[in-house]
């Protein structure tokens, strides 16, 4: 009887740990990239209703040049864009959950950041450089 209880306890513990291990990273966003990559998703028809500093940040050449200097890649897309012909990393970034627009996705080999678009160029550069 003692062996049965120990075996049963061991089975319960193994099942509990295996279910925890399998679900650890399920909520963590994933984008398969080999370099710094940035996607900004917006609603182009709403450009007149976002703060000027945020619009200036989205359209700024400053962050695009930084990405280019680092050998990275970027896209600025409307939420209704047809992404069928885009590269896989763009599709993966585009499909991440968004809570608002405009939305920023910054990723590299080690991490993915999917957040609301910063309000100005300083905030955008900070997020890209982290």
pLDDT digits (tens, 9 = 90+) for 65-102: 999 999 999 999 999 999 999 999 999 999 999 999 99
pLDDT digits (tens, 9 = 90+) for 26-67: 567 899 999 999 999 999 999 999 999 999 999 999 999 999
The strand pair at 112-116 and 103-107 is best described as antiparallel
Distance CA 50, CA 115 (A): 16
The structural domain count of the chain equals 1
**Residues 17 and 91: beta-carbon distance below 8 Å:** no
H-state helical runs in 32-129: 52-59, 61-69, 88-94, 121-129
The answer to whether residue 73 sits within a structural domain is yes
Does residue 91 lie within any of the structural domains?
yes
3-state secondary structure of 2: helix
The reply to whether 54 falls in a domain is yes
């Amino acid at each position: 009887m003692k062996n049965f209880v120990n075996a049963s306890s061991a089975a319960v513990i193994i099942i509990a740990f295996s279910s925890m291990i399998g679900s650890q990273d399920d909520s963590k966003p994933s984008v398969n990239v080999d370099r710094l990559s940035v996607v900004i998703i917006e609603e182009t028809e709403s450009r007149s209703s976002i703060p000027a500093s945020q619009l200036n940040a989205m359209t700024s050449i400053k962050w695009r040049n930084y990405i280019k200097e680092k050998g990275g890649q970027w896209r600025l897309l409307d939420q209704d864009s047809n992404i069928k012909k885009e590269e896989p990393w763009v599709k993966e970034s585009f499909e991440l959950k968004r809570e608002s627009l405009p939305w920023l996705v910054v990723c590299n080999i080690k991490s993915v950041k999917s957040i609301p678009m910063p309000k100005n160029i300083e905030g955008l550069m900070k997020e890209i450089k982290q």
